[in-house]
Chains A and B, each alone.
Chain A
Amino acid sequence: MTKRLMLMLCAALLCGVFVAACGDDSSSSGGGGGGASEESGQTEGAKVIDPSLADNAKGEVTYCQGKDTSGNAHYMIDEFNKKYGPDLKAKLVEFPASADEQRTQFIQRQQAKSGDCDVFSSDVIWTAEFASQKWLYDMSPYMEDKKADYIEAPVETVTYDGKIWGVPESSDAGLLYYNTSKVKEIPATWQEVYEQAKSKGGIVYQGAAYEGLTCDFLELFFGAGGEVLSEDGTKSAFAEGDAGVKALQFMVDGVKDGAAPKAVTTYMEPESLTAFQTGKPAYMRNWPYAYALNQKAKNVKGKFDVGPQPTFEGGEKAGILGGHNSVISVYSKNPGGALKLIEHIGSPEIQKAYAAQFSLSPVRADVYDDPEVQKAIPFATQLREGITNARARPVSPVYPQISQAIYKNVNAALSGQQSPEDAIKQANSDIEKALSTF
C-alpha cells in the first residue's frame, strides 16, 4: 500500500514539476541566445538605420501587432499593398490581444534572432527595454527632419538614451470624463474635482494593483511636481521632495472621505467604466476608448463630456500617455521595406483614416483639425490637448519592475494597509532595487 502511495505521489510530483518547468522553458526559450556583446554602454553600438534604404525597397515586409480588433491594421496593409505592390508587399502577423503576451511573443522572437517581425507595433512603455537589448534599429537619422510633424509627447515615449528608436503610430492619454447632469465643467484643479465628487456621487478610476494604477497615480504625482527617476535614469528620485506623499495622501483621503468609492482599489478599466455608466459617479478617469462606449450606455448617453485632466493644486497638468510606436527589428531582412511601411503608417492619409474610421488617436497634430476626424471624434480638440499635455511613463529597461513598485505600494496605501509615507519609502527602495538589477 505504502509503495503504491509512494508511486502515486511521485507521479503527482513529477506532474507538478513538469508543468512548472515547462512554463519556465517556454518563456525562456532561446534564453541563452541573445545578440548583444557583454559590457558596452546601454545602447552603444546599436545598429543605425540608413534612411536611403527606403528608396528602392523591394520584396516582402512583415508587420507584427496585437490582435487587430478594430481592423485598422488590415486596412493599413491593404492600402500599402495597393500603393507599392507587387514589387514591395506587406503582410500582417497578429499576436494575442493581451499586451503582456505581445511583449513575450516579440521577446521570444528577438532572443531567437528571428526576422519574423520586420516592424513591430510596440507599446510606449517597452522602448527602453528593447533598445537596451539592442533589438531595435536606432531611427534617429530617419526621424531627424520628421520629428516636427509629430506631437512632442509621443516622440518622447520612443526616445531613450538620447536616440529615437521608432516612429509614433497611435496615441492615447488619460482623460477625465464627467456626468453633465451633475457637473457643468471640469474645475481647474484635482482638489476641486475631489471636493465636488464628495457630494455629487464620487470619482472612479483604476485603483487595482496593476499597470492602470501606476498611470493614475503618476498623473497626480507628476502634477504635484514629482519625478520617478533621476535625469540619467540610473537612480530613483521617487522619494525626493514631497510630491509622492502629497499625491498619495490626496488619493488616500479621497477614498477615506468618500470622494472615491472604497471599491476603487479593485477597479480596472472595465469596472470603472461600468460604475460610471450607472450614472451615479460624477467623474471617471479613463482612456479615450470609453467615449464611444459611453455613447451607447443608456444612463449616461448624451449626459457626459470629457476633457483633459486638471492641474494638481500649485502644480501642473499631467495625463499619462499610452499608445504604440512602430519599431524595426535589427534581425529584419528587409529594413528598407520596413522603413517604407513605417513611413506609410505615419503618413497623414493613414493617420487620418486611423482616427476617422477606427477611433485611434493620431500622433500628428494637424490631423485633429480635419473635418472628417472632428466628426468621427467629437472630442478631438480636447483629445489633442490631453495628448499634448500628457507625460510619458518612466523610460527604463526595468520599467515593469518600476511599475510594480509603484502600483503595489500605492494600492496597499489606498486599502489602508500602509501609511502614504511608508508606501512611498517602500516604493522608492523597490525602485532602487529594480535599477540595480541591470
Chain B
Amino acid sequence: MTEATANTGAPQERRSRGLSEKGLAFWMVSPSMVLIALVAAYPIIYAIWLSLHEYSVRVAGLSRWAEPFGLGNYQAALQNADFWNAMVTTLIFTVASVFLELLIGLAMAMAMHAAFKGQGLLRTVVLVPWAVLTVVTAIMWRTIFESPQGFVNQIIGGDTVWLGSEPQALIVIIIADVWKTAPFMALLILAGLQVIPSDIYEAAKVDGATAWQRFRKITLPLLTPAILVALIFRTLDALRIFDLPYVLTKGANGTTTLSLIAQETFATNRIYGLGAAYSILTFITVMIVSFTYIWTVGGNIRGLAED
C-alpha cells in the first residue's frame, strides 16, 4: 500500500526501478488470477480429465483411459436413452418456464414502474418469492399439490395425483419455478424501464399515441437489451435445474433433468467418469444455447445501439 502511494506520487522513481506499468498491472492482478485458477479452473479441468477416464466401482480410485480414444464415457452417455429423455425434459422445462417468467415478469415490472400510492410496498411484496430458498419453495409447492388433501385438489375438487402423473409433475415444477423466479425477471426489466427517458412518452402523448402504441413502439424496443440480458440469465439457470425436481419428485414421472442424471451417476452411483461426462455435456448444452442467443439477437442489440 505504501509502495503504491509512493509510486503514484513519483512516476520517475518507478521507472528507475524497472517496473513498467504493464509489469505493475501483472503483479496487481496475479493474486486474483491465482485464486480463480484454484477455485474455478482446476475443478473444470479436473472434471474434463475425469470424463475421459473410466472408473471401476469395485476398485477405488482405479483410473484408466475410457476407450475408444478416451471418449468412451461420452459414447455411453450419448447412447443412453435416459440422457436424451433428460435433455428433452430440461429443454421443455427451460422454454416453458422462461417464457412464462418473461410474460409475468414484464407485467410485474410495468406494475412496479407505474407511479401510485403503495408502490414501495408492491415492490417489496413482489420480491418475496425470490427471497425464499428453492428447497423451501419446493416443499411448499409439494404441500400445495399434495393428493388427495392438498390445497389445489381441495379447491378444484379433483383427485389428480399431481406429482405422480405425467405430465402433471413437470407442470408443477414449472409453476414452482415461475412463482419463484418471475420476480427476478421483473427486477431486471424494471431496471431497464427506469432508464427510458420520460420525455419520449410525453412527445408520443402529444402526437396522440394510445397507451398500447406507446408500449409497442417505445417501451418494448427500448427494453429489448434489458429483456435479453434477463432472458439469457434465466435460460442458463433453467438449463441447470436441479433442486426443484430433486425435492418434488426425485426425477419420477418424466421430471429427470440433466443435472439430476449427472448427480445420480456421479454422487450416488460413484461412476465418476460417466457422471463427469454428463456434467460436461450439460455444460456444452448450456454453451450452445447461450451462443445461439448471442448470434441471433446480438445483431439486434447492436442495431439498437446504433439507432
Interface residues, chain A, CB within 8 Å of chain B? Answer: 1-2, 5-6, 8-9, 12-14, 16-25, 27-28, 30-39, 42, 100, 104, 107, 110-111, 129, 132-135, 208-210, 261-263, 265-266, 271, 278, 397-398, 400-401, 404, 408, 411-412, 415, 417, 437-438
Q: B166 touching A12 by the CB < 8 A rule? A: no
The interface stretch among B9-17, B113-121, B157-165, B204-212 is B157-165
Q: Does B133 contact A (CB under 8 A)?
A: no
Within the assembled complex, what's the spacing in Å between the Cα atoms of A38 and B55? 12
Q: A21 touching B47 by the CB < 8 A rule? A: yes
Interface-centre pick from B164, B251, B267, B305 (highest chain A CB count, 10 A): B164
Which B-chain residue is minimally distant from A32 (CB atoms)? B61
Which A-chain residue is minimally distant from B57 (CB atoms)? A438
Q: B161 touching A266 by the CB < 8 A rule? A: yes
Q: B283 touching A9 by the CB < 8 A rule? A: no
Q: A36 touching B148 by the CB < 8 A rule? A: no
* Size of B's binding interface in residues, CB under 8 A: 65
Q: A12 touching B236 by the CB < 8 A rule? A: yes
Within the assembled complex, what's the spacing in Å between the Cα atoms of A263 and B162? 9
Q: A16 touching B253 by the CB < 8 A rule? A: no
How many A-B residue pairs have C-beta atoms within 8 angstroms? Tell me: 175
Q: B283 touching A18 by the CB < 8 A rule? A: no
Interface-centre pick from B56, B229, B301 (highest chain A CB count, 10 A): B56
Contact check: which of A9, A111, A408 meets B252 at CB < 8 Å? A408
Q: A33 with B43: in contact, given A5-B229, A20-B279, A398-B269 (CB under 8 Å)?
A: no
Q: Which residues on the B side are within 8 Å of A18 (C-beta)? A: 39-40, 43-44
Within 8 A of A (CB), among B216-246: 225, 228-229, 232-233, 236, 240
Q: B305 touching A1 by the CB < 8 A rule? A: yes
Q: A34 with B249: in contact, given A5-B294, A400-B269 (CB under 8 Å)?
A: no
Which A-chain residue is minimally distant from B162 (CB atoms)? A266
Q: A16 touching B47 by the CB < 8 A rule? A: no
Within the assembled complex, what's the spacing in Å between the Cα atoms of A404 and B287? 30
Q: A36 with B63: in contact, given A5-B228, A5-B298, A262-B161 (CB under 8 Å)?
A: no
Within the assembled complex, what's the spacing in Å between the Cα atoms of A2 and B233? 15
Which A-chain residue is minimally distant from B166 (CB atoms)? A417
Q: Which residues on the B side are within 8 Å of A397 (C-beta)? A: 57-58
Instruction: A2-B301, A27-B266, A36-B60 are known; give 11 further A-B pairs, CB within 8 A.
Output: A5-B301, A9-B290, A12-B236, A20-B259, A21-B279, A24-B279, A25-B46, A25-B47, A265-B161, A278-B149, A398-B57
Q: What would 29 A/B residue contacts be, using CB atoms closer than 8 Å? A: A1-B225, A12-B232, A17-B283, A18-B44, A20-B282, A24-B43, A24-B46, A24-B266, A24-B276, A25-B46, A31-B50, A32-B61, A35-B60, A36-B59, A36-B60, A38-B59, A100-B268, A133-B59, A266-B161, A266-B163, A271-B146, A398-B57, A400-B269, A404-B268, A404-B269, A417-B166, A437-B56, A437-B271, A438-B58
Q: Which residues on the B side are within 8 Å of A8 (C-beta)? A: 229, 232
Q: Which residues on the A side are within 8 Å of B42 (C-beta)? A: 25
Contact check: which of B161, B250, B283, B290 meets A20 at CB < 8 Å? B283
Q: A132 touching B58 by the CB < 8 A rule? A: yes
Q: A263 touching B147 by the CB < 8 A rule? A: yes
- Min Cβ gap A188→B in Å is 31
- Min Cβ gap A376→B in Å is 33
Q: B50 touching A28 by the CB < 8 A rule? A: yes
Contact check: which of B50, B62, B146 meets A34 at CB < 8 Å? B62
Within the assembled complex, what's the spacing in Å between the Cα atoms of A263 and B152? 14
- Min Cβ gap A256→B in Å is 13
Contact check: which of B148, B229, B298 meets A261 at CB < 8 Å? B148
Within the assembled complex, what's the spacing in Å between the Cα atoms of A23 and B161? 33
